[in-house]
Amino acid sequence: MRKVIRYKCSDCGVLFDSEESYLKHEDRHKRINKANEMLNNGHTLQEIQDTCNIWDSIPEHLKNANKDNCFVIPYWQCCDKPAYQIDYIYMDGTVRVWGCGSWSGYYGNPVSLNSSNLRNIHNKDELFVDKRYIERHF
Ligand SMILES: [Zn+2]
């Protein structure tokens, strides 16, 4: 029997066998935190990428997208209007797309930037919010 040391991320609890691999992970947390701060402040995905280096690449049609742009994801809640916006960037580089469609109010899921769900990009003033559910926003 041999005792081993493992390193645990105090942010998310993931375990690492070496300090180096933990430090890489910690650096990723820092870049993701910064990326989310920039997203909240209205920066585009390309600006976020230039500063934080989160993704391998960004699809051309999303380079100028920011949190205000909205997307039509017809099979979410049978909603064919642009109801969904990018509101969070995860550690793995997927983004949460979130909004109030037409079935049961607010809904969101992690989506890859390469997903066809994000092909259909709309401007802020086109955002659709199902009025029936606004009251329930937490
Ligand atoms: Zn972590």
Structural domain boundaries, residue 47:
15-136
Domain contains 81 = yes
What's the pLDDT at 136? 56
Domain contains 9 = no
Helix (H) or strand (E) holding 29: helix 19-40
14 CA → ligand 1 middle, Å: 6
47 CA → ligand 1 middle, Å: 24
29 CA → ligand 1 middle, Å: 6
For residue 41, give both structure tokens. Answer: 């402040």
What's the pLDDT at 104? 78
112 CA → ligand 1 middle, Å: 20
70 CA → ligand 1 middle, Å: 29
Nearest to 88 by CA among 96, 79, 100: 96
Phi, psi of 100, deg, nearest 5: -115, 95
What's the pLDDT at 133? 76
Nearest to 39 by CA among 100, 113, 106, 102: 113
Phi, psi of 96, deg, nearest 5: -85, 130
129 CA → ligand 1 middle, Å: 34
pLDDT in tens, 22-52: 999 999 999 999 999 999 999 999 999 999 9
For residues 101-123, average pLDDT: 91
Domain contains 132 = yes
> How many domains are contained in the chain?
1
Domain contains 4 = no
Distance between CA atoms of 30 and 124, rounded to whole angstroms?
A: 29
pLDDT in tens, 87-105: 999 999 999 999 988 777 8
93 CA → ligand 1 middle, Å: 14
Residues, the chain, total? 138
Domain contains 49 = yes
Mean of the per-residue pLDDT values of the chain: 93
Distance between CA atoms of 107 and 83, rounded to whole angstroms?
A: 10
Domain contains 32 = yes
